[in-house]
Amino acid sequence: MTADLFEAVLDVRPPREAMADGAVLLRGFAKPVEADLIAALRAIVAQAPFRHMFTPGGHQMSVAMTNCGGAGWVTDRNGYRYDGADPESGKPWPAMPPVFCELASQAAAQVGFDGFAPDACLINRYAPGARMSLHQDKDEQDFSAPIVSVSLGLPAIFLFGGIKRSDKPRRYRLAHGDVAVWGGPSRLFFHGVAPLAFGEHAAMGHQRINLTFRKAR
Protein backbone atom coordinates (compact mmCIF):
# COMPACT_ATOMS: atom_id res chain seq x y z
CA MET A 1 0.00 0.00 0.00
CA THR A 2 2.69 2.46 1.04
CA ALA A 3 4.91 1.30 -1.84
CA ASP A 4 1.99 1.70 -4.28
CA LEU A 5 1.36 5.21 -2.97
CA PHE A 6 5.01 6.18 -3.47
CA GLU A 7 4.96 4.72 -6.97
CA ALA A 8 1.81 6.66 -7.81
CA VAL A 9 3.23 9.91 -6.47
CA LEU A 10 6.81 9.59 -7.71
CA ASP A 11 6.13 7.47 -10.83
CA VAL A 12 9.22 5.34 -10.20
CA ARG A 13 8.13 2.45 -12.43
CA PRO A 14 10.77 1.67 -15.05
CA PRO A 15 10.01 3.02 -18.55
CA ARG A 16 10.79 -0.37 -20.07
CA GLU A 17 9.76 -3.69 -18.60
CA ALA A 18 10.31 -7.18 -20.04
CA MET A 19 7.10 -9.21 -19.56
CA ALA A 20 8.29 -12.38 -21.29
CA ASP A 21 10.78 -13.45 -23.96
CA GLY A 22 9.89 -11.08 -26.86
CA ALA A 23 7.28 -9.09 -24.90
CA VAL A 24 8.27 -5.61 -23.73
CA LEU A 25 6.21 -2.84 -22.14
CA LEU A 26 7.32 0.71 -23.06
CA ARG A 27 5.57 2.93 -20.54
CA GLY A 28 4.55 6.35 -21.87
CA PHE A 29 6.11 5.71 -25.29
CA ALA A 30 3.07 7.23 -27.10
CA LYS A 31 2.86 10.36 -24.92
CA PRO A 32 4.82 12.64 -27.31
CA VAL A 33 2.24 12.03 -30.09
CA GLU A 34 -0.92 11.61 -27.99
CA ALA A 35 -2.69 14.68 -29.45
CA ASP A 36 -1.96 13.53 -33.01
CA LEU A 37 -3.20 10.01 -32.20
CA ILE A 38 -6.46 11.33 -30.74
CA ALA A 39 -7.08 13.64 -33.71
CA ALA A 40 -6.44 10.81 -36.18
CA LEU A 41 -8.70 8.52 -34.17
CA ARG A 42 -11.58 11.02 -34.40
CA ALA A 43 -11.26 11.11 -38.20
CA ILE A 44 -11.26 7.29 -38.44
CA VAL A 45 -14.31 6.87 -36.21
CA ALA A 46 -16.22 9.46 -38.29
CA GLN A 47 -15.70 7.19 -41.35
CA ALA A 48 -16.00 3.80 -39.65
CA PRO A 49 -17.95 4.06 -36.37
CA PHE A 50 -17.37 1.74 -33.41
CA ARG A 51 -19.69 -1.28 -33.33
CA HIS A 52 -20.21 -4.29 -31.09
CA MET A 53 -19.48 -7.32 -33.28
CA PHE A 54 -20.86 -10.84 -32.79
CA THR A 55 -18.68 -13.87 -32.11
CA PRO A 56 -19.18 -17.03 -34.19
CA GLY A 57 -20.93 -18.44 -31.09
CA GLY A 58 -23.55 -15.68 -31.30
CA HIS A 59 -22.45 -13.54 -28.35
CA GLN A 60 -22.17 -9.78 -28.79
CA MET A 61 -18.79 -8.43 -27.66
CA SER A 62 -18.64 -5.95 -24.76
CA VAL A 63 -15.71 -4.24 -26.52
CA ALA A 64 -16.72 -1.98 -29.43
CA MET A 65 -14.41 -2.15 -32.46
CA THR A 66 -13.41 -0.50 -35.69
CA ASN A 67 -10.31 -0.69 -37.90
CA CYS A 68 -7.99 1.26 -40.12
CA GLY A 69 -5.44 0.05 -42.64
CA GLY A 70 -5.62 -2.30 -45.61
CA ALA A 71 -6.98 -5.20 -43.57
CA GLY A 72 -9.55 -4.98 -40.78
CA TRP A 73 -10.28 -7.70 -38.22
CA VAL A 74 -13.94 -8.67 -38.15
CA THR A 75 -16.06 -11.31 -36.47
CA ASP A 76 -19.61 -12.42 -37.19
CA ARG A 77 -21.67 -15.63 -37.22
CA ASN A 78 -19.40 -16.96 -40.00
CA GLY A 79 -16.16 -16.66 -38.01
CA TYR A 80 -13.13 -14.41 -37.54
CA ARG A 81 -11.30 -12.97 -40.56
CA TYR A 82 -9.45 -10.00 -42.02
CA ASP A 83 -11.48 -8.00 -44.56
CA GLY A 84 -10.34 -5.09 -46.72
CA ALA A 85 -13.81 -3.54 -46.47
CA ASP A 86 -15.99 -2.50 -43.55
CA PRO A 87 -18.99 -4.88 -43.63
CA GLU A 88 -21.23 -2.08 -42.28
CA SER A 89 -20.55 0.29 -45.20
CA GLY A 90 -19.03 -1.92 -47.90
CA LYS A 91 -16.25 0.68 -48.23
CA PRO A 92 -12.52 0.14 -47.60
CA TRP A 93 -11.45 0.77 -43.99
CA PRO A 94 -9.96 4.25 -43.45
CA ALA A 95 -6.27 4.42 -44.37
CA MET A 96 -3.76 3.97 -41.56
CA PRO A 97 -2.64 7.47 -40.51
CA PRO A 98 1.15 7.98 -40.80
CA VAL A 99 1.39 8.82 -37.06
CA PHE A 100 -0.12 5.38 -36.22
CA CYS A 101 2.19 3.49 -38.55
CA GLU A 102 5.31 5.37 -37.48
CA LEU A 103 4.62 4.92 -33.77
CA ALA A 104 4.08 1.16 -34.20
CA SER A 105 7.19 0.77 -36.31
CA GLN A 106 9.34 2.80 -33.89
CA ALA A 107 8.10 0.82 -30.88
CA ALA A 108 8.83 -2.49 -32.63
CA ALA A 109 12.33 -1.27 -33.56
CA GLN A 110 13.00 -0.38 -29.89
CA VAL A 111 12.54 -4.05 -29.10
CA GLY A 112 14.62 -5.35 -32.03
CA PHE A 113 11.89 -5.90 -34.63
CA ASP A 114 13.19 -3.63 -37.39
CA GLY A 115 11.04 -2.97 -40.46
CA PHE A 116 7.64 -3.66 -38.84
CA ALA A 117 5.06 -2.43 -41.38
CA PRO A 118 1.56 -3.18 -40.06
CA ASP A 119 -1.28 -3.51 -42.58
CA ALA A 120 -3.97 -3.80 -39.89
CA CYS A 121 -4.92 -1.66 -36.92
CA LEU A 122 -7.78 -2.97 -34.80
CA ILE A 123 -9.21 -0.23 -32.57
CA ASN A 124 -10.89 -1.50 -29.40
CA ARG A 125 -13.09 0.71 -27.21
CA TYR A 126 -13.74 -0.35 -23.61
CA ALA A 127 -16.47 1.34 -21.59
CA PRO A 128 -16.53 0.56 -17.85
CA GLY A 129 -17.38 -3.14 -17.43
CA ALA A 130 -16.15 -4.14 -20.91
CA ARG A 131 -13.65 -6.99 -20.98
CA MET A 132 -11.84 -9.35 -23.32
CA SER A 133 -11.62 -12.99 -22.33
CA LEU A 134 -8.41 -15.02 -22.60
CA HIS A 135 -7.53 -15.76 -26.25
CA GLN A 136 -4.68 -16.10 -28.73
CA ASP A 137 -4.18 -13.85 -31.78
CA LYS A 138 -3.80 -16.39 -34.57
CA ASP A 139 -5.80 -15.08 -37.52
CA GLU A 140 -2.66 -13.60 -39.11
CA GLN A 141 -0.59 -15.16 -41.92
CA ASP A 142 2.87 -14.67 -40.47
CA PHE A 143 3.62 -15.06 -36.76
CA SER A 144 7.23 -13.86 -37.22
CA ALA A 145 5.94 -10.25 -37.20
CA PRO A 146 5.26 -8.83 -33.74
CA ILE A 147 2.05 -7.19 -32.53
CA VAL A 148 2.22 -3.66 -31.14
CA SER A 149 -0.47 -2.28 -28.82
CA VAL A 150 -1.07 1.31 -27.73
CA SER A 151 -3.27 2.13 -24.71
CA LEU A 152 -5.20 5.41 -24.45
CA GLY A 153 -7.58 6.69 -21.80
CA LEU A 154 -8.58 4.80 -18.66
CA PRO A 155 -6.11 2.25 -17.28
CA ALA A 156 -6.83 -1.47 -17.67
CA ILE A 157 -5.59 -4.66 -16.09
CA PHE A 158 -4.03 -6.72 -18.86
CA LEU A 159 -3.94 -10.49 -18.27
CA PHE A 160 -0.86 -12.13 -19.75
CA GLY A 161 -0.78 -15.93 -19.72
CA GLY A 162 1.47 -18.36 -21.51
CA ILE A 163 1.41 -20.72 -24.47
CA LYS A 164 -1.18 -22.98 -22.77
CA ARG A 165 -4.66 -21.71 -21.92
CA SER A 166 -4.19 -23.16 -18.43
CA ASP A 167 -1.02 -21.08 -17.74
CA LYS A 168 -1.86 -18.71 -14.88
CA PRO A 169 -2.02 -15.14 -16.23
CA ARG A 170 0.05 -12.37 -14.70
CA ARG A 171 -1.54 -8.93 -14.36
CA TYR A 172 -0.13 -5.71 -15.80
CA ARG A 173 -1.63 -2.26 -15.50
CA LEU A 174 -1.73 -0.59 -18.93
CA ALA A 175 -2.17 3.18 -18.74
CA HIS A 176 -2.62 6.08 -21.16
CA GLY A 177 0.37 6.31 -23.49
CA ASP A 178 1.75 2.85 -22.73
CA VAL A 179 2.94 0.82 -25.71
CA ALA A 180 3.67 -2.91 -25.70
CA VAL A 181 5.40 -5.11 -28.25
CA TRP A 182 4.63 -8.83 -28.41
CA GLY A 183 6.93 -10.87 -30.62
CA GLY A 184 9.02 -14.01 -30.70
CA PRO A 185 7.86 -16.76 -28.33
CA SER A 186 5.22 -14.49 -26.72
CA ARG A 187 3.45 -13.84 -30.03
CA LEU A 188 1.05 -16.74 -29.46
CA PHE A 189 0.62 -16.38 -25.70
CA PHE A 190 -2.89 -16.29 -24.26
CA HIS A 191 -4.00 -12.84 -23.09
CA GLY A 192 -7.06 -10.82 -22.15
CA VAL A 193 -8.32 -7.70 -20.40
CA ALA A 194 -10.12 -7.63 -17.03
CA PRO A 195 -13.45 -5.74 -16.82
CA LEU A 196 -12.66 -2.02 -17.08
CA ALA A 197 -13.09 -0.07 -13.84
CA PHE A 198 -15.13 3.11 -13.75
CA GLY A 199 -13.14 6.33 -13.99
CA GLU A 200 -12.58 9.50 -15.92
CA HIS A 201 -9.57 10.35 -18.04
CA ALA A 202 -8.80 14.00 -18.79
CA ALA A 203 -8.28 13.55 -22.54
CA MET A 204 -10.42 10.46 -23.26
CA GLY A 205 -13.34 10.59 -20.81
CA HIS A 206 -15.02 7.43 -19.51
CA GLN A 207 -13.33 4.93 -21.82
CA ARG A 208 -10.20 3.06 -22.77
CA ILE A 209 -9.07 2.78 -26.39
CA ASN A 210 -6.53 0.20 -27.49
CA LEU A 211 -4.83 0.27 -30.88
CA THR A 212 -3.55 -3.17 -31.92
CA PHE A 213 -1.16 -3.13 -34.88
CA ARG A 214 -0.63 -6.34 -36.80
CA LYS A 215 0.82 -7.69 -40.01
CA ALA A 216 -2.26 -9.63 -41.14
CA ARG A 217 -1.31 -10.57 -44.72
Name the residue nearer to ligand MD3 (CB basis): 6 or 136. 136
**Residues 82, 116, 189, 213: which binds ligand MD3 (CB under 6 A)?**
189
Residue 147 interacting partner from ligand MD3, Fe ion, none (CB closer than 5 to 8 Å by kind): ligand MD3
Write out the DSSP string of the chain.
-HHHHHHHHH--S-SEEEEETTEEEETTTTGGGHHHHHHHHHHHHHHS--B-PBPTTSPBPSSEEEEESS-EEEEETTEEEEESB-TTTSSBPPPPPHHHHHHHHHHHHHTT-TT---SEEEEEEE-TT--EEEE----SS-TTS-EEEEEEES-EEEEE--SSTTSPPEEEEE-TT-EEEE-GGGGG--EEEPPPPP--BTTTBS-EEEEEEE---
Contact partners, residue 94, CB within 8 Å, separation at least 6: 43, 44, 47, 48, 68
- Cα(111)–Cα(103) distance, integer angstroms: 13
**Contact status: 172 vs ligand MD3 (CB under 6 A):** no
**Contact status: 178 vs ligand MD3 (CB under 6 A):** no
Name the residue nearer to Fe ion (CB basis): 113 or 213. 213
Least Å distance, CB 93 to Fe ion, is: 18
Residue 149 interacting partner from ligand MD3, Fe ion, none (CB closer than 5 to 8 Å by kind): ligand MD3
**Residues 187, 196, 215, 216: which binds ligand MD3 (CB under 6 A)?**
187
Which of these segments, 38-46, 88-96, 164-172, 178-186, binds ligand MD3 (CB under 6 A)?
178-186
**Contact status: 137 vs Fe ion (CB under 5 A):** yes
**Residues 66, 105, 207, 212: which binds ligand MD3 (CB under 6 A)?**
212
Residue 210 interacting partner from ligand MD3, Fe ion, none (CB closer than 5 to 8 Å by kind): ligand MD3
Q: What angle do CA 160, 161, 166 make, to 5 degrees?
A: 150
- Among positions 71-110, residues that touch ligand MD3 (CB under 6 A) are none
Residue 103 interacting partner from Fe ion, ligand MD3, none (CB closer than 5 to 8 Å by kind): none
- Cα(23)–Cα(119) distance, integer angstroms: 20
**Contact status: 122 vs ligand MD3 (CB under 6 A):** yes
**Contact status: 124 vs ligand MD3 (CB under 6 A):** yes
Which residues make up the interface to Fe ion (CB under 5 A)? Answer: 137
Residues in contact with ligand MD3 by CB under 6 A are: 122, 124, 132, 137, 147, 149, 180, 182, 186-187, 189, 191, 193, 210, 212
